[in-house]
Structure 1
Amino acid sequence: MPRLRSNGLELEYDTFGSPADPPLVLVMGLGAQMITWDADFCGLLAAEGFHVVRFDNRDIGLSEYLDDLPLPDLQAIAAGDRSTVPYVLADMAADVAGLFDALGFAKAHVVGASMGGMIVQQLAIDHPDRLLSLCSIMSTTGDPTVGQADPAALQALLRPPAAGREASIAQSSDTLRILSSPGFPSTEEFFVAKATRAYDRAYHPAGGARQTAAVIASPDRTAALAGVRVPTLVIHGEADPLVGVSGGKATAAAIPDAELLIVAGMGHDLPRGAWQTLVQAIARNANG
């Protein structure tokens, strides 16, 4: 896959569809590689008439790692000590703007999932002239009173990384199962295959820790989101155990004229059974 230079970093990316079509950039979440945007899902978006771009965020996948930075003290950051914060969501939003520049996009549609939703919200705040439309999926505003996680889901996400390939894949597949959609059930084999593919492509838990610090250290976006003036769609799973549905509701309430789509039975993932619903909603929002 190709690489580009953005905001001083090397980012791995991939494209689907015709470069002559309007660009649609997909931004993935915490510790998740761009392959979490399934190629078939990207193909469905491309079939709607978009030039689809997915990429690995900084510090994850095959993009540049920032291992010269210290590991963050997450407890201290949560308590207000920012001395070990490596970067914040605004820096990751600047990465997306830099990706636009490298690919020659004056403007683009953006879709972000989970932390990626936070990043595209920040992009809309910091670079409002670069967006054609905005879609925030299974995300929240940064207000700590909304979008709270179920304890079991949060514990699964924050547990220390396992040692070795077999244990790491088992841990990741267990996390995928905990976060999955009860209304769109998957098999254990599916979770193991997905975890195996991600581990064998790239395994970099230190990057996930630094991304977690970025989320914790970034401010509440609620007030700033009131200034967003692009067509906005907020999608949230009714059964999301990691970012409660109140996070999606708060996001839609913060952005003027935002559409809110709550998907029954969807958890904190992008289940194949919901793809047509998601793709059609994204295309409808982008096409105004």
Structure 2
Amino acid sequence: MPQVTANGITLEYDTHGDPDNPPMLLVMGLGAQMTLWPIELVQALADRGFYVIRYDNRDIGLSQKFEGEKVPGVMWHVIRTRFGFPPRVPYTLSDMAADGVGVLDALGIDKAHVVGASMGGMIGQLMAVEHGHRLLSFTSIFSTTGNPKLPQADKAAIEPLANPPESMDEHVLVEHGIKISNAIGSPGYRPDPESQRQRVIESVRRSVYPAGLHRQMAAIINDGDRTQRLKSVTTPTLVLHGEDDPLVKVEGGRATADAIPGARIKTYPGWGHDLPQELVETIADDVAEHTKRA
């Protein structure tokens, strides 16, 4: 797959669809490679007339890593931040938002529809706040505002993410990946076990880099509550969220929609914190309809 130099670093990306169609940038979440965007959803968006661009966020997948950059422990970081003394972090969510804009710059794209999932939704929020003139529309998928008063993740959902396996043996990594998938996945759309295992194997063989997840988490914590900043967003915004999301509760989606002027929200029962095959066409239709409104 190709790489670009964007915002001073190298980022892996791929494209799908006709380059003459309106561009759509997909931004993935915490510790997740761009390939977590199901190819079926990518193709469904391309079939609806978009030039779809995926990329690996910094510090994950095949994009540039920040080897040796240390971050504070999560609890110490949270405590210091709440008392107004955030510790130094290697990079911020604003840096990651600038990465997405940098990908557009490198590809010669002036404006794009942006779709962000989970942490990718947070990055997309900051793109809309800090680079709003580059966005044609914004779709936030199972993301949140960073307001600490909102309901927090279920313990069973956060535990496997917070505790990566000590062994880098492929079998151990695959089993851990399946554990994460089951912990955060949609209760109403359980995956076929064989297909699920194959997807995890492909992801593990492409790249495994736990250190990047911790640095990305530090960037999330450091960014704090975006509620007030989101009130300045003028980009037409759609919020999509699962009503049974155990990791980022649906209240986070509702808070996002409440904070962004004119934002619309659609929620779905049975949907968790993944992109199940059964919802691919629905999500693609929602996004495409939103871009037409925009």
Partner residue in 2 for 1:285: 290
Aligned residue pairs total 288
Residue of structure 2 aligned with 1:258, choices 256, 259, 263: 263
Equivalence for 1:139: 143
Q: Distance in 2 between matches of 1:194 and 1:162?
A: 21
Structure 1 partner of 2:239: 234
Confirm whether residue 123 of structure 1 aligns to residue 120 of structure 2.
Answer: no
Tell me the residue number matched to 1:31: 31
Q: Post-superposition shift, 1:84?
A: 4.5
Let me know the Cα RMSD of the aligned residues. 1.2
Q: What aligned pairs does 1:83-98 form with structure 2 within 5 A after superposition? A: 83-98=87-102
Greater Cα shift, 257-266 or 77-86: 77-86
- Give 1:69 deviation, angstroms: 1.2
Which residue of the other structure, out of 218, 228, 238, is the alignment partner of 1:213? 218
The residue type paired with residue 45 of structure 2 is L
Displacement after TM superposition at 1:287 (Å): 1.3
Q: d(CA) in 2 for partners of 1:39 and 1:82? A: 38
> 1:162 maps to which residue?
166
1:224 is displaced (CA, Å) by: 1.1
Instruction: Give the C-alpha shift of residue 68 in structure 1.
Output: 3.3
- How far is the alpha carbon of 1:71 from its aligned partner? 4.1
Structure 2 CA distance, aligned partners of 1:21 and 1:220? 35
Runs of 5+ unmatched residues, structure 2: none
Aligned-partner residue type, residue 148 of structure 1: Q
Counterpart-to-counterpart distance in 1, 2:9 and 2:27: 16
Partner SS, residue 256 of structure 2: helix
1:191 match: secondary structure: helix
Give the match for residue 254 of structure 2: 249
Contact 1:86–1:210 (Cα < 8 Å) also in 2:
yes
For 2:278 and 2:141, how far apart are their aligned partners in 1?
16
- Secondary structure of 1:79's counterpart equals helix
Q: Conserved in 2, the CA contact under 8 Å of 1:72 and 1:210?
A: no
Give the AA of the match of 2:100. V
Correspondence for 2:227: 222
Return the alpha-carbon distance in structure 2 between the equivalents of residues 160 and 59 of structure 1: 16
| Contact 2:27–2:54 (Cα < 8 Å) also in 1 | yes
Q: TM-score, normalised by structure 2?
A: 0.95
Letter in 2 for 1:152: A
CA distance in 1, matches of 2:110, 2:139: 18
Other-structure match for 1:5: 5
Q: Name the structure 1 match of 2:109.
A: 105
Distance 1:108 1:147 in 2: 32
Residue matched to 1:20? 20
| Amino acid of the structure 1 residue aligned with 2:206 | R
How much does 1:147 deviate? Answer: 4.7
Alignment-mate amino acid for residue 198 of structure 1 = S
Paired residue secondary structure (2:200): helix
Question: How far apart are the structure 1 equivalents of 2:17 and 2:74?
Answer: 40
- Give SS of 2:4's match: strand
* Segment of structure 1 superposing worse, 77-86 or 147-156: 77-86
Alpha-carbon distance, 1:187 to partner = 2.7
Partner-residue secondary structure (3-state), 2:11: strand
Runs of at least 5 residues in structure 1 that lack an aligned partner in the other structure: none
Instruction: Please point out which of 165, 178, 198 is paired with 1:193.
Output: 198
CA contact (8 A) 2:238 2:265 kept: yes
1:148-190 CA deviation, whole Å, 9 max, x = no partner? Answer: 2011111121113331221111111111011111111113323
Identical positions, percent: 47
Is contact 1:72–1:86 with CA below 8 Å preserved after alignment?
A: no
The answer to whether the Cα contact below 8 Å between 2:40 and 2:280 also exists between their aligned partners in 1 is no
